Amino acid sequence: MARIVMKFGGTSVADIDRIRNVARHIKREVLAGHEVAVVVSAMSGKTNELVGWVREASKAEGANFNIYDAREYDTVVASGEQVTSGLLALVLQAMGVHARSWQGWQIPIRTDGAHGAARIAAIDAALMIERFGQGQVAVIAGFQGIGPDNRIATLGRGGSDTSAVAVAAAIGADRCDIYTDVDGVYTTDPRIEPRARRLAKISFEEMLEMASLGAKVLQVRSVELAMVHGVRTFVRSSFEAPDAPGMGDFDNPPGTLICDEDEIVEQQVVTGIAYAKDEAQITLRRVADRPGVAGGIFGPLAEAGINVDMIVQNMSEDGARTDMTFTVPSGDLDKALAVLGQTRDSIGFDAIQHDQGLAKVSVIGIGMRSHAGVAATAFKALAERGINIRAITTSEIKISILIDDPYTELAVRTLHSVYGLDKQ
């Protein structure tokens, strides 16, 4: 007997038929004698709809961006998972599986106070574990917990992955299976490169980079938690028949295992390509070149909750003034421009320029640590396709390149092929 967590994303629970299919996957594991905690997302599209309602309800007349009470945002957007957890418990009961739903506050899953992007602080799993002893399956609403203010808090978009890994750590699960609409982690998003290949294993570090650079198959925080707590995490498909051969294989289920680097025998130089659309670029012209300026610019942006990403600062020609370029999510551009407008006098710059419709394409691989020339290969391949590079950032195991959005697919496919990722 083992203890496992099974997480099902939005497309896997999109309607009652799919919820029934999910219940069959769960029943398979229950019949194998395992103790099971399930984490569910809202039905696909539901959270977007709820977020849209929040925006509509809180928009002041004439404003082109809105600031709303994040506690009420959480109250609204957490409701999608409440619905699917109850529905799945009902379907399981109808199939003769002993199950009950749990909302984040009932367990409780305690979070910090950062409403809308809360982090899990602690999970008291005692009651759930007691119920396992009675053969009960726990069906947990993902994406939500309870903050220090005793109010519902959500974990940021894609947060059910994090709920699942955190629950797995809290109950000491032997495995955490993230069921989704693809059958594993691929060398790049299979939706835009059909020649992408499924990886049997990927290291925590690489998965962390893939996720933070746009591969939304796992939420970044879930990978961090899996790495820190050593949770054995698989990404696998809920669309495969629940009784297909091998589906119940305990040690090697079909899918991708996220694991320590040293568990991977054949290391590639490049493991995957990720992309993020909807990036906007801001350039401040002729900023004073003196200590404290970067803090003066990025401090107020951070306070406004704006995530600044690539930052490029030129050397000033005269030692007095320089240009500063950085990217923010397109959805935050208006807010960022408003914040910078207010701080213009204290920072001191001549003009603000901005551009939208950009994308960031990234090459990821642990092998880059020990191989030279990986970046040069990317630059040459993109140039041959006539793709202009606006900005570049690098770390030990990744290269990120900012380009114009219409070239995203071409850039991803070009890089995927130039590093031989489409070959077996």
Instruction: Please choose, from the candidates 173, 202, 176, 171, the residue with its C-alpha nearest in 3D space to the C-alpha of residue 187.
Output: 202
Within 10 angstroms of residue 390's Cβ, the number of other Cβ atoms is: 18
Cβ of residue 210: shortest distance to ligand ADP, in angstroms? 6
* Maximum distance among all Cα pairs of the chain, rounded to whole angstroms: 77
Residue 181's binding partner out of ligand ADP, ligand ASP, Mg ion, none, with CB under 5 to 8 Å set by partner kind? ligand ADP
Cβ of residue 7: shortest distance to ligand ASP, in angstroms? 8
Cis omega (within 30 of 0) for bond into 406: no
d(CA 66, CA 57): 10
Measured CA to CA in angstroms, residue 130 lies from 3, 101, 138, 329, 404 at distances of 13, 15, 11, 44, 54
Residue 365's binding partner out of ligand ASP, ligand ADP, Mg ion, none, with CB under 5 to 8 Å set by partner kind? none
* Contacts (CB under 5 A) with Mg ion, residues 7-46: 9
Cβ of residue 84: shortest distance to ligand ASP, in angstroms? 9
Give whichever of 168 and 264 is closer to ligand ASP, judged by the CB atom.
168
Give whichever of 147 and 159 is closer to ligand ADP, judged by the CB atom.
159
Question: By beta-carbon distance, which residue lies closest to ligand ADP?
Answer: 9
> Is the Cβ–Cβ distance between 296 and 346 less than 8 Å?
yes
Instruction: Please choose, from the candidates 254, 228, 224, 222, the residue with its C-alpha nearest in 3D space to the C-alpha of residue 241.
Output: 254
Give whichever of 160 and 187 is closer to ligand ASP, judged by the CB atom.
160
d(CA 414, CA 249): 36
Cis omega (within 30 of 0) for bond into 245: no
Residues that bind ligand ASP (CB under 6 A): 9-10, 41-42, 47, 80, 142-143, 157-161
Cβ of residue 218: shortest distance to Mg ion, in angstroms? 7
3-state secondary structure of 325: strand
Instruction: Please choose, from the candidates 169, 182, 173, the residue with its C-alpha nearest in 3D space to the C-alpha of residue 250.
Output: 173
Torsion of CA 339, 342, 344, 345, to 10 degrees: -150
Give whichever of 137 and 182 is closer to ligand ADP, judged by the CB atom.
182
Residue 272's binding partner out of ligand ASP, Mg ion, ligand ADP, none, with CB under 5 to 8 Å set by partner kind? ligand ADP
d(CA 123, CA 166): 8
Cβ of residue 142: shortest distance to ligand ASP, in angstroms? 6
Give whichever of 11 and 343 is closer to ligand ASP, judged by the CB atom.
11
Cβ of residue 345: shortest distance to ligand ADP, in angstroms? 43
Question: By beta-carbon distance, which residue lies closest to Mg ion?
Answer: 158
Torsion of CA 172, 175, 176, 177, to 10 degrees: -160
Cβ of residue 248: shortest distance to ligand ADP, in angstroms? 20
Tokens linked to 359 = 């994308």
Residue 142's binding partner out of ligand ADP, ligand ASP, Mg ion, none, with CB under 5 to 8 Å set by partner kind? ligand ASP
* Contacts (CB under 5 A) with Mg ion, residues 106-165: 158
Residue 188's binding partner out of ligand ADP, Mg ion, ligand ASP, none, with CB under 5 to 8 Å set by partner kind? ligand ADP
Q: Which amino acid is at 35?
A: E
332: β partners = none
Under rule CB under 5 A, residue 80 binds Mg ion: no
Residues that bind ligand ADP (CB under 6 A): 9-12, 41, 158, 180-182, 185-186, 188-191, 210, 215-217, 272
Give contact residues for Mg ion (rule: CB under 5 A).
Answer: 9, 158
